[in-house]
Amino acid sequence: MAVGNIEFPKMQAVAGIKLGTACAGIKQTERDDLLLVEMTAGSTCAAVFTQNAFCAAPVHVAKKHLSTSPRYLLINSGNANAGTGEQGMQDAMASCTAVAELTSANTEQVLPFSTGVIGEPLDVSKIVKALPATQANLIEDNWAEAAHAIMTTDTFAKGYSKVITINGETITITGMSKGAGMIQPNMATMLGFIGTDAKISQALLQSCLAESVEQSFNRITVDGDTSTNDACVLMASGQSTVAEIIAGTKEAEIFQLAIQEACLALAEAIIRDGEGATKLIKIKVQQAVNEAEAVQVAKTIAHSPLVKTAFFASDPNWGRILAAVGRSGVAQLDVEQISIYLDEVCIVEKGGRASSYTEEAGQAVMNQQEINVTVVLGRGQVEQQVLTCDFSYDYVRINAEYRT
């Protein structure tokens, strides 16, 4: 169940980045569940990872291998290889070794990623058996197949692609993400992989990714749960004819904004596909003292089960939003200065119900599939936005039946 009319975009191939998929049968045998990504020699690679202390074995390995000029990404769905102890670490390393032996790369040049159920051992033999098939169909124009292969409870594949122009030459940016539940990235169960043919140093690429993730994947939440496996990777093959992107230049600013646009689009797609979601909620907090305060208020609203179930019911129970703002933990919050809106309908002002508010006006907004909540704190000049969705009966069903 997705919110809005979702169309998978035309995915532009990225020169120097090849993708190959296969069905390893890790949890199901109906579709491909294994993805191998190959980066041409000389590519740079950046990544951010979950802040969950129980991060999965592949996260540990990928973090370690990131500094060794990666050439390959290996992604499996159907099993998270998380909460699996030392055996999980051995399995993650064995997967990397299998890729290295197949491709003549070094084991340390392979970054592993896994997504799926937590606490169950990963059957590496299935991955090893399917790897030759992924290598056999490594091509640059395989992003659509790759986006489908990394899905778990997702109801649709999530992709983004755009060609930008810098100084008369072009740079391609193409990416995919997956995730529908256990979503509250803190980097960064979500995975994101973005490729570009830009020439750019690893350090600047890492900076671009970190800044973009902070304003996109770190501004979404389905259920407030941070996965053990979250990761987002940005690969740059250097095959574009645009001169190398240098920090502090106009070109760097254009590139940064383009990467952030890609991350924002992929992040929003995750929320539109939130488990059981029927509504997309954009929560904007204005006139905060600082960014952290604005995000704190927005996420308190976004995480409230009472708020989220009211949205599912299309119930203009605005008191739940007011209560969430009040308990958000903002020091010395002056409720007399706060205004709250549902779209353009003012529901709260001067510490209580807005004098202009009518139940009919509130109901009209709540009946929509996409709703904007705006909280004006009256304390400063900072604005931030968080995206979330409602809680439906299906969210409970999907997660209650996840392992069956």
Cα–Cα distance, 150 to 128 (Å, whole number): 17
Shortest CA distance to 121 belongs to which of 153, 76, 158? 76
Q: Are 267 and 216 in contact, with CB atoms under 8 Å apart?
A: yes
Known catalytic residues?
189
Q: Tokens representing 139?
A: 């091509």
- Is the Cα torsion angle 113, 220, 364, 4 positive or negative in sign? negative
End-to-end CA distance of the chain: 19
Contacts of 314 (CB under 8 A, 6+ apart): 363, 366, 367
Q: Name the maximum alpha-carbon separation found in the chain.
A: 71
Contacts of 220 (CB under 8 A, 6+ apart): 183, 184, 185, 267, 268, 270, 271, 386, 387, 388
Residue found under tokens 């006006």: 361
